[in-house]
Every structure is written in structure tokens, then in C-alpha cells.
Amino acid sequence: MEIKNHLLQQARQLQSPNYGERPEGEQISLLVIHNISLPPGEYGDPYIDHLFLNQLDCSLHPYFARLKELRVSSHLMINRAGQITQYVPFNLLAHHAGESSFEGRKQCNDFSIGIELEGCDEEAFTQIQYHMLAEVTRVLLGSYSGITPERITGHSDIAPDRKTDPGPCFDWSLFRSLLENE
């Protein structure tokens, strides 16, 4: 895998309108792992893309009503089959972390990259998702020196009162072992 001009060359590219400039001089120094499925626990539909592109038809499912005014994005999403979609170039700020704090620093969106895994708190992620996440993470570690293995965290760790993802089914040991050994 390769990053050119802050774009992962192997990813499908869909440009989200939900991004901003990082604060001047800000170094990318954190990787945040998330999970997402729309509706919760359902996979393989276009609703995640639609949410990040502000194109979600909120009349299609009762759960979507709560998402009507939401304007969010992530840098990447890895679906259950391992396909990667990039919504925001890495040098730009994606709206993935919300109110958050890491090592005393607030506003994690300012200095982080967010990766969504298609999934939920109650189900195991697929092996291909772990392999792709490890491969992407290695490329990010090599491209953005501020990100180190110690600066990879879950959304639940930076927003513990609000978020639970990537959830108890995310196997951190497996992910870290793939990161070191592949």
C-alpha cells in the first residue's frame, strides 16, 4: 500500500464535504479506531457512504431519524470484505472523534486520523478487516512520524462517557500482533 498526496492509493475515493483544515502547524499524531454499521448490526449497504457524504435518506429506516442533522466523516472505512474507502485526505481534519481527549489534549480531530471498521460492539470483526487495518496502519506509521504504536487508540478511550467503539469484540491483541508480524 502507498500514500500519495495524503491519499491511500489502494482505497476507493469518495470526497466527504465534512472536513476542515487542521490547525496551523498541527502534526498528525494519533490513530483512532472506530466501528460503524447502519442500521446497527446490518452490513453491506451504501448507508455509511451516504452518511459521510450527507446523502442519507433518513426516511429509509427508523434509526436514521437520529442522524438527520449529523455531519460526520472519517478518513477511512474498512468494510467486512476488506474494501477500503477514503472520505477525507489524511492531511485534512475529519469529523470522527467529536468531543474527545487524549493524554490531556482535547479536540482529537485536530491531530488524529480516524479509521472506521464496518461492524458493531456485539459482533466479531472479520479476519480480512484486521489484516487490512494492520496493513494500512503500517503505511500510516511510515508516513506520519507523529503516529506511533503507543498512539493508536479506540474511540471509547478518547470519549469514554459517550462512545463504546470499537467495542469489546475488537481484538486488540490480534491487531497488535498483525501489526508487528506481517
b/e sequence 1-25, b meaning 16+ C-beta within 10 Å:
eebeebebeebeeeebebbeebeee
pLDDT digits (tens, 9 = 90+) for 135-155: 999 999 999 999 999 999 999
User: What is the rounded average pLDDT for all residues in the chain?
Assistant: 97
Q: How far apart are the first and last CA of the chain?
A: 13
All structural domains of the chain = 3-181 (3.40.80.10)
CA–CA separation, 68 vs 51, rounded Å? 9
In Å, the largest CA–CA distance within the chain is: 45
Q: What is the pLDDT of residue 181?
A: 83
- C-alpha distances out from residue 115 to 36, 57, 94, 130, Å: 10, 23, 10, 12
pLDDT digits (tens, 9 = 90+) for 74-124: 999 999 999 999 999 999 999 999 999 999 999 999 999 999 999 999 999
Q: What is the pLDDT of residue 129?
A: 98
Q: Tell me the whole-structure pTM to 2 decimals.
A: 0.97
Res. 182: pLDDT tops 80: no
Res. 58: pLDDT tops 80: yes
Active-site residues: which are they?
116
